[in-house]
Amino acid sequence: METKIILNADVSRGKIDKNIYGQFAEHLGRCIYEGLWVGEDSPIPNTNGIRNDVLEALKDLEIPVLRWPGGCFADEYHWKDGVGPREERKRMVNTHWGGVVENNHFGTHEFMKLCELLETEPYINGNVGSGTVQEMSEWVEYMTFDGESPMANWRKENGQEEPWKVKYFGVGNENWGCGGNMRPQYYADLYRRFQTYVRNYGDNRIFKIAGGANVDDYNWTEVLMREAAPFMDGLSLHYYVHPGGFWDKGDAVRFNDKEWQISMQKAYHIEELIQKHSTIMDKYDPEKRIAMIVDEWGAWYDVEPGTNPGFLYQQNTVRDAVIAGISLNIFNNHNDRIKMANIAQMVNVIQSMVLTEEDKMLLTPTYHVFRMYKVHQDAERVALDIETKMLEIDGKEYPQVNGSASKQANGTINISLTNADKDNQTTAEFILRGTPFNQVTGEIITSEKMNDHNTFEQPDKVKPVKFTDFEQQGQTLKVTLPPMSVVVLSVKSDH
């Protein structure tokens, strides 16, 4: 057999936090405006200004947590400009993303309504780069204080009598770059100061997330953990797959064989980053109290030809489905430290779940992977060992197959597998130990060509279908994974 897989269903590796399947929505391009928000007066069917078709599609993903308002936008966002009567809200220039005018019609109340409709936890990112301690403190008070205060009274005047529950709060974003070009020592001190005033009101308990490293900046992690570990609950990590590098990322659809291979190798690279940043965190936090929060990740290419370069709108092929599958398997397998991840971004930006064009909408291959993988949310990870051949590009190796496995409360075991080889299938001997089984079902997403993607004319070109390419022999499965595929197998017993 080319690949050998052993699953020990009775060996638990702890819970896979559902928040690994989180999303990210920034005021960037057409993510918020048109993608999510059309306003109550729009001819596009909507609920409180939020478009219904996108809402219904996203609800099917069972999104656990949603990060907002950025991203780089967070550190130039002044929340008070986004509350109160919409016609009176200040307009601002979105200097990071296209230089367009932001009318602030989608603010705190609208975001909280979106979270309510999606039944998801809000993850608010506060402004350290251009904001003040008072501004951040008052935002928390506005959202969560149940009592008599200027901010609570203002919230009530604006139509929200009861405070909201806000569990996750990020103190700044990418403060090593767009969030202020800070040194880690300076940001660590600022973080300690700002987080002091991110207060818990009533029974609302905030999980405070410090702005972490860019890719392999291990010194940033070292300084933040050394100087501020007692004051944080989570530390973020950002990593994107750029096939051609940051300044010439490559095309989302018109790419060649080598770009496919580089994309796969770079998708696997996050494993090394997680391991090395975790080692530093372990030194200061051996009990793993502090979570690693991968709150920006995904495949980032050049924008689609003819679109605003500041809007970061890109298509989404079967390549992106495989990148998503590889990444989520890696996050699942580091569930001892990773407690949240937020793919960038939810609609119309970078590696999106959904693309829209006026009143039209389509689901991307990445969307389908998230829907297939949602069975892992809050499930018990079980031991999965894979032996597979190594692929190579430019002297760098990466596995052909990766995977993760978990057990749901009803006893069903779900195994997610990817084949990163664009040309070759692999036949896997799959040994299942520690559980009897007599029912196996599967779902697969793949395509004939690596550039295949969904368009508004052909919205279902790349979508999941039933997977049946396996044979059961006692406690062994013989599974054939086609090239460039993502598969989820569900195994259970009817006894």
Catalytic residue numbers read 174, 296
Q: What is the DSSP string of 444-472?
A: EE--SSTT-B--SSSTTSS--EE---EEE
- E strands, 347-399, in order: 354-357, 360-363, 380-387, 390-393, 396-399
Confirm if 252 and 314 have CB atoms less than 8 A apart: yes
Tokens of 479: 């599974």
Tokens of 279: 């080692």
Amino acid at 434: G
Task: Look up residue 37 and give its DSSP letter.
Answer: B
Phi, psi of 412 (to 5 degrees): -65, 135
Distance CA 259, CA 112 (A): 40
Task: Look up residue 434 and give its DSSP letter.
Answer: S
Q: At what angle do helices 218-228 and 184-196 cross, to 10 degrees?
A: 40
Confirm if 17 and 339 have CB atoms less than 8 A apart: yes
Distance CA 371, CA 470 (A): 22
- E strands, 186-260, in order: 207-214, 234-241
Tokens of 4: 């050998």
Query: Dihedral through CA 60, CA 63, CA 64, CA 69, nearest 10?
Result: -150
Confirm if 445 and 365 have CB atoms less than 8 A apart: yes
Distance CA 129, CA 191 (A): 11
Confirm if 171 and 128 have CB atoms less than 8 A apart: yes
Query: Which letter, b or e, does each residue of 211-221 get, where b requires 16 or more Cβ atoms within 10 Å of its Cβ?
Result: bbbbeebeebb
Q: Tokens 């770079």 belong to which residue?
A: 266
Q: 114: which residues sit within 8 A by CB, 6+ positions away?
A: 36, 50, 66
